[in-house]
Structure formats: C-alpha cells, structure tokens
Chain A
Amino acid sequence: MREKLVEAKGLYKQYALKSDKLFAKRRYLKAVDGVTFDIYKGEFFGVVGESGCGKSTTAKLILDMEHPTKGTVLFKGRDMSTLKPKEWRAIRLDMQMIFQDPLGALDPYMCVGKQIMEPLEIHNIGDPKDRKQMVLDMLAAVSLKPIFYDRYPHELSGGQRQRIVLARALIVKPQLLVCDEPISALDVSIQAQVVNLFKRIHKELNLTFMFISHDLRIVKHVCDRIIVMYLGRVVEEAESDELFANTLHPYSQALISAVPSLTPDAQAKRIMLHGDPPNPIDLPKGCRFASRCSKCTPRCLESEPELVDMGNGHKVACFLVTGK
C-alpha cells in the first residue's frame, strides 16, 4: 500500500457574498464544492482546470490557510484544524508553497541570501554558524551560483527569482511542496529551466508535489497523477498517461483537445465547447458541465453525477461513462 501524505475528504468552501440589499437572501460563491482526493507520498500530483474552478482554493484548504466550510484535510493522518498552535507550526513546516508571482513573494529590501536564511532563524533550525553554508548549498541545489547570495530581487530575472522562492521553501526540508501556477509568469524559454529543476528536486529529495497549472502540456510532462476540476468539483482523476490516452469525461476531452498542438494545421480533431462556464454563484441543478456538454441527456439536467472509480484508480463523474 502506498502511503498517503494528504487526504482531502469531502471539502466544501463557500464564500458569502456582500449583498447590497439589507434583507436579501444571502448568496454564496461555492469555490470548492465537494472535493475528495488523496496525495501519495513522493508523487507528483497535478491539479488542472480553467480559471475559477477552485484550484487555488483547494490548495489553500490543503495548506490550512483557509478553513473548509465542510470536510476535513488530513496531513500525515492528522487533522490540521484540531492541532494546538505549537504542534500546528511544527507540522505546517512540512508543507511549503510557491505561487505564480515570485516578485510578490520576496522582500525587495533584503538580499536574497538572507531571505532564504530567514525560515531557519524563525524556526530555529540548525546551528547559526552553519546557516550560511546551508543557504549556499540550497542556492547550488536550485542551480544558482554563490554570488547570488548578496543580490536583491530586482536584480534577478523572473526565472532566477522563482529559484530563490523555491530555495526558501526547500531549506526547511518540507515533505509537501504546493505550487500554484509556478511558471505561468515566466518567459517561455525560462519555463523549461524551472520545470527541469522541479523534476530534479522531486527525484533527488523524494519530495511530494501538488502542482496546480492551467498549462496541460506542462502538467502532462511532469505529473504522475492528475485531477481535472470544473466549477469546484473533480470531474476526472487518473494516472497521467491514462488520463491523456483514455480521457473519459467530456470536459477533460474538450480541455485536452483545446491545447494548440505544435503541428501546423492540426485543429481538425478539436472538440469545440460552446458558451462559458455557468456562474459559480447560481449553479444550475444537475451536472455542472451540462450547459456546455454536447452529450448532455435529460438525466444530466436532473441530478449531479458522483465521481466513480472505473477500476485502476481512473475516476470520472459523468453518467454516460459510469452508467450510475
């Protein structure tokens, strides 16, 4: 049995909307609406879906940066929300995160070496006189020369900044690294550098990744297992190769076919979706993909399909596939 590092169980997260009328019925935006998945130790776990589908909110729930309206998150078998502050801090160190915008994550007035060292000081890790060496080792691990220690964020390129953020996350030796669109803000020619670095780190440190991205080419390239989200729900979950070779959910099929291929004149096989996703505030009844689905049946407008395991861990939430 593979060891589970993260268990997300029936997560819901609603945000109350401000209403302009005093006695109007309160309205809620359902950012995450019943999400269950596990992340195994050492795996490169991918989350894909389009803007507003709840990827980032799910990440925040996993990191206990937001509290679920309903449901629980277990990290190493423990429910973060029940821990005492001291224990919480200790366990929370094992999860680190990096986001899309590396510049926003860095202090403009502090040299980057000191910023990488900061978590060691805050959490009192290692002997103070060894810390500089630890930082230099970390710089080397993210392929930066020692001279970068004294540089400031504005002197660095986007790719170099993302390496600094990565070094700062890795220096506390976490077990889980949550990356939310970590390369979207980088130049195309730099993305490959950072992706290769992620892959190397993953192998060398046996680190578990939760990798959120809308770039299916990259996700396919790096991830072992993937969930596809649509409007706050998981619609499909499978090993990466299986997902791309044997795509089951109509939404995943459209999403994957929409990725422009690098072969000129290849648009023939495209499944064109019509319309936009419905508003996550007033979700219609039934399957939430129904309004854009070309295979929609009357039943799909009535009830919501559950995520069903089709064997070998390939799960899908579509009546036409599961028959249930």
Chain B
Amino acid sequence: MLHVKNLKVDFEVDGRRIRILHGVDLDLEEGETLGLVGESGCGKSVTCSAILRILADNATVTGEVMYDGTDLLKLPASKMEEIRGKDITMIFQDPVVYMNPVKTIGNQITEVIHLHEKCSQAEADKKAIDLLTQVGIPHPETRLKYYPHQLSGGLCQRVMIAMALACKPKLLMADEPTTALDVTVQAQILDLLRSLNKKLGMATILVTHDLGVIAENVKRVMVMYAGVVVEEGPVDIIFKKPAHPYTEGLLNSLPKMDGQEGDLIPIEGSVPAPDKRPAGCCFGPRCKYMTDECLKGQPKLTTINGTHRCACFHPVHGTYGGEA
C-alpha cells in the first residue's frame, strides 16, 4: 500500500544544508500497524511529514513515496491535497494547536464531512454525532457546541481522531498522540486507536518515543536513530532479541515494572547534533561493540532473520551482510 524508498530530507538553515533523514525505507501493508520509535530529534516526525508533504519550506526531499502505485513526491500540489484529505491523515501530539479556537467542535467536524460528501447540514450533524460516539465521547450532542479550549487534553485528542475518521482514511499517521496526556488517559486513547484499526481496517503508523507504547500497540516496529532506520521487524522478536546495539541499549536503560533491582544500564554519551555526525556508523561513539570496521561507513539495513532487519556490522543477534 505504501512503499517509501530512500527518503532523504535536507533542511536549509542559515544558508547551510543539513541532512536530517539519511535514506529511510518504509513499507506498509493495508490494515497494518507499524510503530516508529526513537529519541527526540531522530527524524520520526520529519519522516511522516515528508510522506504527507507538509514539511516547512526550507526542506528538500528526495526519494520515492509510492502510494497505490503513484509517487506522492511527484504529484501536483492539488492532487496531494486530495490524498491528504481522503486517503492519509495525521494526528499530532498537541491537538489544540491544530484546531480552530474560534469554531465549535461541531462546525469543525461537519466542515470536514462536507468536504468529503454532499449532504445536508442535518445529515452532517448526525454523522458528526456518530463519529464522536465512535471515539468514545460522552454526550456528543452537547459536546458539538463546545470550543476546543473547553475540552480536556484527552477529549481534544478524541475529537482530532474523529476529524481524521471523517475523511475515512486508509492510513492514519499518529505522531506522539498520547505524549502530552496522563497515563490513564493515554491508555484510553491507545485502546481507541487499536479498536479503530481492527474495526475499520485502517492502517496505522504510530510514532512514539515510548517503547512500552510500541510493545503493546503495534505488530511491527522501526527503530530510528539520528535520521537512520537502525532496526526493523516484528515487535515480539525485537523486544526479546534486539539485534541493534542501540535497541538493546534502550531496552536495558528502562526500569522494568516487574522489579529487577540494581542499577540501570545507560547508553553513554548523547545523540549527535545533525551537523556533527560521526564518521562511519552513526551510533559508533556510543556503541560498546564498535570496532575499526564501524568507521568505514554507515552499515546497511540487512536481514537478520525473516523480516527482522538491522543496520549494524556487529549485531547482537545474527550476522551482518544477509541480503541488503
């Protein structure tokens, strides 16, 4: 359904071009859930925005984004607009920013509905109520008359999801949809997204920095580090047997709820700034397995086993250099 190949993004900052995405490949089947995980600044949001072509003006994008057989990067702006409204939609970490503060929730949802189908205002209102019910908002009739600031963060995110659903998308990209929410509300929203994925068969890309959210909500995951996909594969395999030293490090650095004692094992150092990338493997300076070979260049994403792939010369499990 979606095949992204060698996606590269450069930003021009103060007259200099800085590469942020270094050739990302991403494949998504219809109805699939895919997780995108990595630390702040690793390029998760840029990847999604590049696919949707909503990056800032200072960005240059190369590569291929094949959706249903057409390359979205080559589409004229007006056609892209159509795809954004109909096929692929996105929800964000901070929903309030993306809503119109002076329009009621009801008006904002029915506006989207009118864009997609010809119907009377009464019919649109009814559809809006259906949508709000579907995303679990109590008393939808009264809530239609509310303005965004009158809703809590969790309710706002539900309204955002309702607006996204109004387009009947085939793919929903959710960029940190629960990061700003309390854990008990996060659990509700993730539960909602899971059930919508099941019920509507809508494919979902879930972006998060929280490995726990990944473990429980998607089947397949891509781990990003410094603008590179370093590992990819089925969640149950990667959490048990991570192949990339970075993934292994992330998992070790988190305290577990089922109480192991002792110190956490941190990853030393910190993420390099985009304009100060190390030579060779991007994770090299922080990697405890690094050898001279790792300075030769960025390792390619190669097969470890089945659909499990990893970009490391010395993977923790498997060997480097299966098929690229």
A281 at the interface (CB under 8 A from B): no
B11 at the interface (CB under 8 A from A): no
Partner of A217, one of B184, B187, B257, B271: B257
Contact segment of B12-20, B82-90, B116-124, B258-266: B258-266
B96 at the interface (CB under 8 A from A): no
B319 at the interface (CB under 8 A from A): no
- Chain B residues whose C-beta falls within 8 Å of the C-beta of A216 in the assembled complex: 183, 257
Q: Given the interface contacts A159-B270, A189-B266, A193-B266, does A261 sit within 8 Å of B152 by beta carbon?
A: no
B191 at the interface (CB under 8 A from A): yes
A196 at the interface (CB under 8 A from B): yes
Contact segment of A34-42, A96-104, A266-274: A266-274
Complex alpha-carbon distance, A140 and B250, angstroms: 26
- Chain B residues whose C-beta falls within 8 Å of the C-beta of A187 in the assembled complex: 39-40, 270-271
Complex alpha-carbon distance, A263 and B257, angstroms: 10
Query: Are B239 and A258 closer than 8 Å at their CB atoms?
Result: no
Distance between A190 CB and nearest chain B CB, rounded to angstroms: 6
Partner of A196, one of B152, B190, B210, B264: B264
Complex alpha-carbon distance, A199 and B268, angstroms: 17
18 contacts between A and B (CB under 8 A): A188-B211, A189-B250, A189-B271, A189-B286, A192-B267, A217-B255, A221-B255, A241-B259, A255-B184, A258-B183, A259-B212, A261-B215, A261-B258, A262-B211, A262-B215, A267-B216, A273-B184, A276-B185
Which residue of A is nearest B263, CB measured? A196
Query: Are A262 and B263 closer than 8 Å at their CB atoms?
Result: no
- Chain B residues whose C-beta falls within 8 Å of the C-beta of A255 in the assembled complex: 183-184
- Chain A residues whose C-beta falls within 8 Å of the C-beta of B211 in the assembled complex: 188, 262
Q: Chain A binding site: helix, strand, loop or mixed by DSSP?
A: helix
Complex alpha-carbon distance, A160 and B286, angstroms: 15
Query: Are A259 and B183 closer than 8 Å at their CB atoms?
Result: yes
- Chain A residues whose C-beta falls within 8 Å of the C-beta of B270 in the assembled complex: 157-160, 187, 189-190
Distance between B266 CB and nearest chain A CB, rounded to angstroms: 4
- Chain A residues whose C-beta falls within 8 Å of the C-beta of B188 in the assembled complex: 272-274
Query: Are A263 and B239 closer than 8 Å at their CB atoms?
Result: yes
Number of interface residues of B (CB under 8 A): 45
Query: Are A188 and B254 closer than 8 Å at their CB atoms?
Result: yes
A254 at the interface (CB under 8 A from B): yes
Query: Are A191 and B253 closer than 8 Å at their CB atoms?
Result: yes
Distance between B52 CB and nearest chain A CB, rounded to angstroms: 26
Within 8 A of A (CB), among B248-304: 249-259, 263-268, 270-271, 286
Query: Are B253 and A266 closer than 8 Å at their CB atoms?
Result: no
Which residue of A is nearest B152, CB measured? A276
Distance between A20 CB and nearest chain B CB, rounded to angstroms: 15
- Chain B residues whose C-beta falls within 8 Å of the C-beta of A261 in the assembled complex: 212, 215-216, 257-258
Q: Given the interface contacts A214-B182, A262-B239, A266-B216, does A189 sit within 8 Å of B256 by beta carbon?
A: no
Complex alpha-carbon distance, A266 and B258, angstroms: 13
- Chain A residues whose C-beta falls within 8 Å of the C-beta of B265 in the assembled complex: 192
Complex alpha-carbon distance, A55 and B221, angstroms: 35
Q: A188-B250, A254-B184, A276-B185 are in contact. List 9 more A-B contacts (CB 8 A).
A: A159-B270, A160-B270, A189-B39, A196-B266, A261-B212, A262-B212, A267-B216, A270-B187, A273-B188
Within 8 A of A (CB), among B162-183: 182-183
Distance between A108 CB and nearest chain B CB, rounded to angstroms: 18
- Chain A residues whose C-beta falls within 8 Å of the C-beta of B187 in the assembled complex: 258, 270, 272-273
Instruction: Give chain B's interface residues, CB within 8 Å of chain A.
Output: 39-40, 138, 152, 154-155, 182-188, 190-191, 209-213, 215-216, 235-236, 239, 249-259, 263-268, 270-271, 286
Partner of B259, one of A51, A199, A244, A272: A244
Query: Are B271 and A266 closer than 8 Å at their CB atoms?
Result: no
Complex alpha-carbon distance, A270 and B186, angstroms: 12
Complex alpha-carbon distance, A276 and B268, angstroms: 39
A260 at the interface (CB under 8 A from B): yes
Which residue of A is nearest B238, CB measured? A264
- Chain A residues whose C-beta falls within 8 Å of the C-beta of B239 in the assembled complex: 262-264
A125 at the interface (CB under 8 A from B): no
- Chain B residues whose C-beta falls within 8 Å of the C-beta of A159 in the assembled complex: 270
Partner of B182, one of A51, A220, A263, A264: A51
Query: Are A188 and B259 closer than 8 Å at their CB atoms?
Result: no
Which 3 pairs of residues, A with B, have the shortest CB-CB distance? A260-B212, A192-B266, A221-B255
Query: Are A192 and B215 closer than 8 Å at their CB atoms?
Result: no
Distance between B184 CB and nearest chain A CB, rounded to angstroms: 5
Which residue of B is nearest A219, CB measured? B255
A50 at the interface (CB under 8 A from B): yes
- Chain B residues whose C-beta falls within 8 Å of the C-beta of A218 in the assembled complex: 255
Partner of A50, one of B184, B212, B250, B266: B184
- Chain A residues whose C-beta falls within 8 Å of the C-beta of B257 in the assembled complex: 216-217, 220, 244, 256, 259, 261-262
Query: Are A262 and B138 closer than 8 Å at their CB atoms?
Result: no
Which residue of B is nearest A273, CB measured? B184
- Chain A residues whose C-beta falls within 8 Å of the C-beta of B256 in the assembled complex: 217, 262
- Chain A residues whose C-beta falls within 8 Å of the C-beta of B255 in the assembled complex: 195, 217-218, 220-221
- Chain A residues whose C-beta falls within 8 Å of the C-beta of B155 in the assembled complex: 276
Chain A 183-203, CB-CB to B under 8 Å as 1, else 0, gives 000011111110110010000
Query: Are B253 and A192 closer than 8 Å at their CB atoms?
Result: yes
- Chain B residues whose C-beta falls within 8 Å of the C-beta of A130 in the assembled complex: none
A87 at the interface (CB under 8 A from B): no
Which residue of B is nearest A49, CB measured? B182
Query: Are A214 and B183 closer than 8 Å at their CB atoms?
Result: yes
Query: Are B215 and A263 closer than 8 Å at their CB atoms?
Result: yes
Complex alpha-carbon distance, A232 and B271, angstroms: 38
A265 at the interface (CB under 8 A from B): yes
Query: Are B182 and A188 closer than 8 Å at their CB atoms?
Result: no
Query: Are A188 and B39 closer than 8 Å at their CB atoms?
Result: yes
